[in-house]
Structure formats: C-alpha cells, structure tokens
Amino acid sequence: MTIHQKMDAPDRRNRLDDMAQGVLSTPLDRPEGPLKVSGRAPYAHEVQPAGMLHGYFVRAPKIGRLARMDDAIARGIAGVETVISGAKLIRNPCQGTANAAPVQPDGDIYYIGQPIALVVADTFETARAAAMTVTFDIAEADRQPVNPTDYDTPEDQQSAQGDLDTAMAEAAFSVDREYTTPAHNSAAMEPHAAIAEWDGDKLLLRGSLQMLKYNRNEIADSLGIDPSNVRLLSPYVGGGFGSKLGIAPDAVGAALAAKETGRPVGVVLSRQQVFEATMRRSETKQRVRLAADADGVLSGIGHDAWVSNLPDESFSEPVTQATPFLYGGVHRQIGHHIARVSRTCAGSVRAPGEAVGITIFEIAMDELARAAGIDPVELRRRNIPDQDPTSEIPFSSHKLAEALDDGARTFGWDDTLPEPGGRREGEWLIGQGMASAVRVNSLMESKARVTLQPDGTALVETDMTDIGTGTYAILTQLAAEMLGLHAADVKTVLGDTDLPPASGSGGSWGAGSSGASVFLACQGVRQRIAEALDTTEEDLTLKDGMAIAGNRSVPLAQVLDGPVESEGHIEPGDTGDAVRQATWGSYFCEVAVNAVTGETRVRRMHGSFAAGRILNPKTARSQCLGGMTFGIGMALTEELMHDPRDGHIVNRDLAEYHLPVNLDVPQITVNLLEERDPWANPMQVKGIGELGICGAAAAVVNGIYQATGVRVRNLPATLDKVMAGLD
C-alpha cells in the first residue's frame, strides 16, 4: 500500500493530536546516541574492507591548464599501486548545490588547491609521501580574476516596486549604508571521506553525504555510468552544514581508483584539503536602504547584494531571500550581483541567504532604531506586515510579534534605549543587542517505508540522512506515536539508496519532508489495521501495542496475521505558492567589550523561535543552540581569508579559521513557541535547523554598539575594528 499526498491545500486534520501514545513532542534521547558516544557508530571512513587501498590527492599550486604531469617517481615507490589523473578527476564535481552537473571544462584548473591527481597506495602515509614527488607544468590560461571585480546582474534576480529614491528623500529617518561579510567554511567535524568498491559494473560507495538521491545521480554523472549501478551508504554523518549537499573530490577519486585497481579504495580529505578543495560561503557586500516616517514605520526598503562564484555555476548566495517579506514598506528595491572568480566553488553553508542577509539587514534596522530614537523591539513590531508585501499573498502563519515579545520578556530587555557606553564594569563596557530571525520554509518530495510486525515492533526505512540534527529520533517518535508503540520498539534505518528516496538533509526541510512521508506510511499501516477491525482509521486508537476500536481492545498480535507494510509519499503542491511560508524568531544578548583591548565577550544570549509543531524539543533546542553559536562565530571570529594576489586560502585549518569554542559561548537559553502550520505538511511541522543562525550575529554586533558606540559594518567584529572605533 502506498499513501500519496500532494500539498495542494492546507491539511487541518490535526491527526497527530489525535494519537494516544504520548511519545511525540517529548525530549526523547537520540536512539543512536550510545553508538556515537562509545565510538561504535560507523562513519564514512570507518568501515574499511579487507585489502583497502588509500588515496591522497595531488593538488594544483596555481591556476591554469594542466600541460604535463610526471608521476614516475611516485609509481616507483614501494606500496604505490597507481596514480589516477585525467579529465574526470580534474573537473570540479557538483559541490555548490545538490543535483547540479559539473560545469567547468575538463582539464582546467580554476582555483589553487584543486585536485589534479590521486596517488593510491597500501597505506595513507605512503600515498601522501608519494604524492609529494609528483611534478607537473601548468600552462597559463585566460581566467577570471581571483578577486571580485566586474559583476553580472541577472535580470530575473532584480525586483522593484514603487519609488525608493523618493521615499528615501522624503523620509523622516533613513539609513543608507554598505556592509560586508567574509567568506565562510562549513568546518564540519567529520571531514569529507569516501570508500568505494566495485562488483562488476556496480559501485558501492560509503560517503559523508547529505542528500543521497541527488548524490547518486551526481556520482553517476561524474563517472559516466547509470545511476542504477550506484549504491550509496551514509548512515552517520559528522556534520555537513551544506558542504556535503553535493559530492566532493573524495567520492570521485575513490570511485575512479577502485575501478582501476579492482580493490576497495578509501579517500579522506585532510582538514586543509577540506578548506581548499570543497566549497565555501561567498563573501558579500551589501547595501541596505531604509526609509521611515516620524513613527518609525517603513515606507521604503532597498537591499543590494554582491557575491561571487566560479564561472558558469548556477548557484549564488541568495542574500536577499527573506528581505521581500520580513517588514512592510510600499517602495522596495532588491538587487543581486554576481562576480565570476577563480576561487573554490561557492555553495550552501548553513542557512544560505538569511544567515548573512538577515544579519546585515538587522544591523541596519538597529541603526534605524537609533536614528529614530525608538526601542529596537518596538521598531520591528511596528513594521510587521499583514501579508507578504511583495507578492501580496497571505502568510501561512506569522509568529514574529510573539517571538519578539517572548524573547524580550524572557531575557529582561531594557526598552529605555540606553545611551551607548553608559554602563561600565571596570575595564568592561556592557551592552545589550537584539535582532529578528526569519527563514523560508520548504517542502521537498520524500518517500519512506514502514513495516509493522505482529510482535509489536516496527521498522522505518528511508534514504534520509542524519547529519547530527536528530533524524533518527524524530522519525522513531513519529512511527511510535502513529502506531501506538514504545520508541524502543521502533527501529529506524537511514542513509542507504536501496531504501525509498527521501528529501535529504538541507534547507531545513528534512524533518517536515521525510517526517511527512513516515507519517503517511504509518497512516497506511493504520488503515490496514482498521480494515481488519472493521472500523475507520480515524476511529482507531493504537496505544501500548493494543488496537482499540469501539468497545474492543485487541493486542496487535491478534489483529495481524503477518507483517503490514506501507509506503508514504509526500510531494509539494499549490501551498508552496498560495501562501508565504516562513519560520520566525528573535535573539537577545548581553555583551561585554574590554575598553583596553577591544575584546568582546558574549555574557548571555537568548532565542525564542516558532517553527510549527515541535517533534522533539531536545533535538530542536539543540539545533537552535548550534545556530546561535554559529552566529557568535560569524559576529566575532569567523573569516575565510583569500590572498588577494592569487586567491589561495590563507587560513586553511581550524587553528587559523577561528570557530567559537567553549569559553566563547555563554549559557544560551531557548524558548520554543507553540505553533501549527497546516499549509506546511500534514504534520504541521516546519524546519528549525537553520532558523537559529538567521540574524544571530546581528544581536551580538548590535550589542557591541550599545556597549561602546562603535558600529562595526564589516564583519567579523574583531578587536582591531572595535579598538579603531574606541580610539
């Protein structure tokens, strides 16, 4: 049985509210947690077949076209099996976004650090040593500049309504400022890794990947084979943050080498290779224009963004994605501009678009609040629109006002608009800052299979991945709730392309999409049980392994004469265009800035978030904590630096790319607001994984201003920039 639902209308059935088991929306521990903390969860490079060889990349020290390569010394080293090169390995794989084909010409070297050969040996150390002996000549070639200069302005990515220039000229208060954010690296804990082995024409590849049904097509395209001959395994992923949406050189290199040698080959990228040879978030330059009347009500909004990527890549950082609907204003202008540069591929890093776009926009809103002398929370409340002001469609739900009020109340926000620099504790200047949070919400096609056994156990199967977000937990809870079982009696199997294809982990759509397919599969199982009891699915109650209908209570073992299997299939439909779907939140923080050194410390931070039905408050809260920590890094330390002479990455490891560590992060509090959104999916769930970062850095930067009077517009707010303002 297959239960298929296309979201062409809101689903107001509230079926999850009718269930009786009581396991959903509880803080269930991760079922796979014991495996992870004990080191028994097998990650991509940890299931090593007998006889496995190891690959190590030779990478380009300059940009151009590979003219000659000499690997004779490497091939002569004891233990070296082969050296792989050629067009399939050199061309840039699909890293920017999932399911995109490589676009750079074969044999071209577009950025320093691009892989050009793979040395394969019996040990990792031998392969690495041999790779150092490979020599080559790289011919000069016409290339894009390494620094953004000229920008394309795609017509379909520009929009305007009204007359923004007139609104700015007539405004009682206005802001017209330029800001910058640097490039970022995902810096996931687990590096990119793959182990490939062939059985005839069939490829089995264990990888660290986020979206398997797309990754399968990408690896097949890179190798020139049929996707049906590819099986991917990715049951545990040690973080991705977008860097593993598409495949990377490790997967292509391992597959090519395994085919040539006839033996399994593993390739794991070093941390430096992850930084230099996978992908980055584009740097941005942003111009924000705000026009408001004497009451602080916006009449005009302008937001232009300048970003970069490799030539011909279709993806570009969607900086202004949420700007059109966050606040009201009749006169509006949005601009998007793309430079083509010879740097690593720019792709999706956690919350592409809003992470950098809303951060900058919320700093500009703080500037407007100061100019108008209005409390920043109140300014935002006054500008919440009744409908999407750009497309004039209603919101599916809107919780920004509630998030602002809840956050201010929980944090203890001072709404008197204190003068900057007015509070001091010894060397430390103390300030508070806040910002709104918003992230678009999406539904992706997804499938899952659920099998209920007569002994009261259930199996959930889908190729969905868990990249640390809690997928194992929430899908287990969904099946347990729908089928009236204890969570311990449900086994969830993920990360295998032999299973029904799910949405994959990305864009904060994983829970809503893969969860909806499990929900529908369970609905099919429930229908079969209801038929056996001569009742309807709506009148059936399942609890503690018992089927209850009318005045009968029957053990499932007596109802089922064998396993009951059902598949769920969810598809997006008209609800994606009929309404504006988004998630909402607010951030509040207190910072201390040292008046002598310019050092900023975040003392406390709070976030209030609304993201539809919360399936598991423990894993949801964890996602918000991670996003806000991400925001602290964006505000204060994270900056991927490129040498302006040749474009190579300067700070290519975790020693120099400064992520926030324990002492940088205070005790963060999170409130999850009650919400249901029937337009989103039949569970009324929305994504929360990325919401926690969308504007978090702005609260910190705004706090620095309130503490010191120093307005940092070029992120991150490192101590040299703060000190320059203090001087």
Catalytic residues: 690
Question: How far, in Å, CA of 299 to CA of 163, rounded?
Answer: 10
**Cβ-based neighbour number of residue 526 at 10 Å:** 27
Residues in CB range of 576: below 8 A, 6 or more apart? 7, 442, 443
Query: What are the residue ranges of helices labelled H in 44-94?
Result: 72-75, 87-90
Q: How far is 319 from 281, CA to CA, in rounded Å?
A: 11
**How far, in whole angstroms, is CA 487 from its chain's centroid?**
27
8 Å CB contact between 335 and 104: no
Q: Sort strands 115-121 and 265-268 into parallel, antiparallel or unpaired.
A: unpaired
Q: Is the dihedral of CA 106, 109, 115, 121 positive or negative?
A: positive
Q: Which residues contact 687 (CB under 8 A, 6 or more apart)?
A: 439, 441, 442, 507, 508, 509, 510, 511, 512, 583, 611
At 604, phi and psi to the nearest 5? -155, 155
State the pairing for strand pair 265-268/193-199. antiparallel
Closest CA to 299 of 160, 162, 438, 179: 162
In 3D, which of 435, 436, 461 has the Cα closest to residue 448?
461
Written as one letter, the residue type at 661 is: V
Pairwise CA distance, residues 188 & 250, whole Å: 15
Torsion-angle region of 131 (φ positive above 0: left; ψ -120 to 50: alpha; else: beta): alpha
CA dist 399 and 62 (Å) reads: 50
Closest CA to 272 of 41, 57, 442: 57
**What distance separates the 2 farthest-apart alpha carbons in the chain?**
83
d(Cα 404, Cα 420) in Å, to the nearest integer? 22
C-alpha 375/C-alpha 366 separation (Å) is 9
Token reading at 83: 């050296």
For residue 578, count CB atoms less than 10 angstroms from its CB and return exposed for 0-12, middle for 13-18, buried for 19 or more: middle
Any residues with CB less than 8 A from the CB of 389 and at least 6 apart, and which?
324, 325, 327, 328, 329, 330, 332
706-710 contacts at long range (C-beta below 8 A, 24 or more positions apart): 706/418, 706/420, 706/431, 706/432, 706/433, 707/420, 707/421, 707/423, 707/429, 707/430, 707/431, 707/591, 707/592, 707/593, 708/420, 708/421, 708/429, 708/431, 708/593, 708/595, 709/420, 709/421, 710/593
Burial zone of 359 (CB within 10 Å; 0-12 exposed, 13-18 middle, 19+ buried): buried
3-class SS of residue 66: strand
Rounded to 5 degrees, φ, ψ at 306 are -120, 125
The DSSP result for 527-587, as a single string, is HHHHHHTTS-GGG-EEETTEEEETTEEEEHHHH-SS-EEEEEEEEE-THHHHSB-EEEEEE
Distance CA 589, CA 585 (A): 14
The residues facing 196 across adjacent strands are: 205, 265
Whole-angstrom distance, CA of residue 407 vs CA of residue 436 = 10
